Structure 1
Amino acid sequence: MHRGRFIVEFSASMAAYMVVLVGSVWFLNISEIEGGWKTVVALTPMLPGAAVALSVMRQVRSSDELQHRIQLEALSLAFAGTALVTFSYGFLENVGYPKLSMFFVWPLMAVLWMVGGLISARRFR
């Protein structure tokens, strides 16, 4: 995928995600829906979220072998780092640290993926 096309697709998907997220949270706070519909509304941001994931996957799939290697190393760091941090914190919760929401896992993984990408790309310069 051409980089410009990826940026447009990714940005549009992220914008849609943010709009749907804000809309669903707003709707859940003002409405009195119950049961299954509440679940459906809460999960609606995942539709544009899936579009974000697909755009990233298409970009990686269309990249060259060096970029594949850089992304593999970056994702390896993100996967292992996220596992170490989340398990460590899980053990700390057993001794009284406050429980954290699952919402912290993806941002942690994303930050570690970016750090891993920077480290790996720097190695291949």
Structure 2
Amino acid sequence: MSFQNRLRLACAGIVVSFGLALYGNHAGWPDSRVGFLTGMGAGLVALVAFLYLAPRWWRDHCEEEYSSRASRDYRRRLWPAMLLYVAIVFASTWLLKHYQMAMPLRAVIAIAPALPISFVMFAFLRYLRTVDEMQRRIEMEAVGVAALVVSQVYLAGGFLQLGKIIDVPSGVAMIWVFPLMCFTYAIGKFLATRRYR
């Protein structure tokens, strides 16, 4: 898929996300669902803005990596796992909200969305084994930056919480670890690629 086609796909996603959010707001959908759709649209807006503003060397690197066999194999394993993750999140949330059940079963249903993320991690490890040495070095540096930054943020947040300066529920704090790792990994990869280009 070319750069322009990816931009068109992202723009279509923006229209669909905001369109569904507006419809849901008018139709009385739950605020959580409308908020999710709005957040997805906003994330796609940020992605399109980044793609337009990204330097040429980064776009060239992405095109080259996107067309590689290792990247194609990784995406073939990644997308089914991510779609399964979204489906399980919606299903488990609905079940936990609408049904009373014994604690062991409730725990299994609550933790079920983590299973597809395990498939994503295994797919990433397999991807690391198949890329060349330079790309592996970039990826490992990006993962290292993500781990260090998120650890530092959570350590600082823990001290602020103990000092009664902030009050973040533990469930909210824990569930944001993986998205923050992904976000800081992307920044780390951008910086590492620039360093080694």
**TM-score, normalised relative to structure 2:** 0.60
Corresponding letter in the other structure for 2:130: S
Q: Deviations over 1:32-63 (max 9, x none)?
A: 11210100111111222211111111111111
- Quickly say closer, same or farther: Cα 1:108–1:11, change in 2 above 3 A: same
User: What residue number does 1:106 align with?
Assistant: 178
User: What residue number does 2:143 align with?
Assistant: 75
Establish whether residue 116 from structure 1 lines up as the match of residue 188 from structure 2.
Answer: yes
Gap regions ≥5 residues in structure 1: none
Corresponding letter in the other structure for 1:124: Y
3-state SS in 2 of match to 1:98: coil
**TM-score, normalised relative to structure 1:** 0.92
Query: How far does residue 99 in structure 1 lie from its aligned partner after superposition?
Result: 2.2
User: What residue number does 2:108 align with?
Assistant: 40
1:15-94 matched pairs, under 5 angstroms:
15-94=83-162
How many residue pairs match? The answer is 125
The farther-off stretch of 12-21 and 97-106 is 97-106
Q: In structure 2, what is the Cα distance between the partners aligned to 1:72 and 1:5?
A: 19
Higher relative contact order (CA 8 A, sep 6+): 1
Shift >4 Å, 4+ stretches:
none
Structure 1 or 2, whichever has the larger Rg, is: 2
Q: In structure 2, what is the Cα distance between the partners aligned to 1:60 and 1:69?
A: 9
What is the percent sequence identity of the aligned residues? 27
3-state SS in 1 of match to 2:180: helix
Q: In structure 1, what is the Cα distance between the partners aligned to 2:125 and 2:185?
A: 14
Q: In structure 2, what is the Cα distance between the partners aligned to 1:105 and 1:14?
A: 17
3-state SS in 1 of match to 2:88: helix
Q: In structure 2, what is the Cα distance between the partners aligned to 1:42 and 1:84?
A: 28
